[in-house]
A = this chain, B = another copy of it.
């Protein structure tokens, strides 16, 4: 159960319909999950959130789509977001993640979670060698 009622016909609202239509076209799927349908209570928040998710996750870029989904899963696990773990694991599967790749992803998340706790427990000081130092005069490096 959510903190907001799920609207029965959210697409009666034109801005919600526009976002959902774009989502269907972008993802080539008719399914709109509960996150988006719940967020539809506020068209502003819905539009801004979808624009960012689309820009980062759906536009072809330097990182391949599956790598991005695996990073998304990793953050969602560490933040203990049940819905996000489910939806992005399903997305990674849809993008071809095999059982073997999933087992490796879980192994990396597990060892990272473990050494995070150890380094925090030991309060290990950051080695000077990791310092990125003072940068060049040229501001934007990309």
Contact = CB atoms under 8 A, between A and B. Distances in A.
Given A70-B71, A75-B116, A110-B117, A2 B124 contact: yes
Given A5-B133, A74-B71, A114-B113, A100 B62 contact: yes
Interface residues of A, number: 104
29 contacts: A1-B130, A1-B131, A2-B125, A4-B135, A7-B138, A9-B138, A9-B139, A10-B140, A12-B137, A41-B99, A41-B103, A41-B135, A42-B103, A44-B103, A48-B55, A52-B52, A53-B111, A56-B108, A56-B110, A62-B98, A68-B104, A74-B74, A75-B77, A84-B115, A100-B142, A103-B142, A110-B114, A113-B113, A113-B114
